[in-house]
Amino acid sequence: MRRLVIFAALAAASAPCRATEPSVAACLPPQAGILAALVPGTAPLVLIDRGQNPHSFDPSPRQLAALSKCDLYVAAGLPFEKALLPRLRTLNPAMQIVPAPADEHAHDADEADEHDPHFWTHPDGILAEARAIATPLAEAAPSVNTALAAYEASVRDLDAELRVRLAPYKGRAFLVYHPAWSHFAEEYGLRQLAIEHHGGAPSAKHLAGLTDAVRTEGIRLVIAQSDSEAARARPFADSLGLDIRLVNPLGRNPLQVLRDTANAIEASLSHTPPTP
């Protein structure tokens, strides 16, 4: 019954997690976008909503206070959540927490470096997240299942479209600043090259290797996720005459992010075949 009340408040476009209004919260904007697709009219509280770096983020006391009043939190598996989730369980034992998708490599220290935590940058990741979020909501409101089915159909349609559009570039490489698109690359048979190296500024040796790759792969642009990242990519891009295209993987509509990524890859690769 309590969940039914929660859902009624959600459907009435409640403000983000005020003391008197039961509501929902998400760690990242793409998760909030999925929430809003499943429960039209809802306005989730989003923890990382101002371009902060998710890899080094910590919520403010104010955010924590607002979050602790929410009825549901969608976690993203980020480092700060290791401390946050137990705290939320203490502050609000009734809160439902949707865990981040399982990290297949979490138990394998050697592969930790290889694992890409940006699970929503491919269709299967978006579908899994939508289903995980829908499950607790649908217990109280079966209409969520209808919204989920429609959302799943739109993900599958986009996936089919991108598969056709990206097929000509199978095996080829695209260049990004921050490596957030490993899942996308794997899904569509592409290779991701990144300027950022082990989470930091690139060494001269790394850039020299990339310079060779840009030339032999026929790469024409760099994908950067923000203006500040574009500024960091600029010297390298200018030295090779590369364009910079902004695609923010933390955008609120993960389907639009997939489409923008495909557009950028097409723009990078459609003019120039790789040298044999």
Longest CA pairwise span in the chain (Å): 65
CB-nearer residue toward Zn ion: 147 or 175? 175
Please give the size of the binding site for Zn ion, defined by CB under 5 A.
1
Cα atoms in the Cβ-side hemisphere of radius 13 Å centred on 21 = 19
Q: Which stretch binds Zn ion (CB under 5 A): 94-102, 141-149, 150-158, 172-180?
A: 172-180
Residue type, 132: A
Q: Tell me whether residue 111 or residue 157 sits nearer to Zn ion (CB atom).
A: 111
Task: Pick between residue 14 and residue 192 the one whose CB is nearest to Zn ion.
Answer: 192
Measured distance CA(219)–CA(234) in Å, rounded: 15
Give the nearer residue to Zn ion in terms of CB position, either 16 or 54.
54
In angstroms, rounded to a whole number, what is the distance separating the alpha carbons of residues 79 and 71?
Answer: 22
Least distance (Å) between residue 250 CB and Zn ion = 8
Contacts of 43 (CB under 8 A, 6+ apart): 13, 14, 15, 16, 23, 36
Interface residues for Zn ion in 142-161 (CB under 5 A)? none
Please, which of residues 179-208 interact with Zn ion by CB under 5 A?
Answer: 180
Give yes or no for a contact between 237 and 244, defined as CB atoms under 8 angstroms apart: yes
Name the one range near Zn ion by CB under 5 A: 153-161, 167-175, 178-186, 187-195.
Answer: 178-186
Name the site residues for Zn ion (rule: CB under 5 A): 180
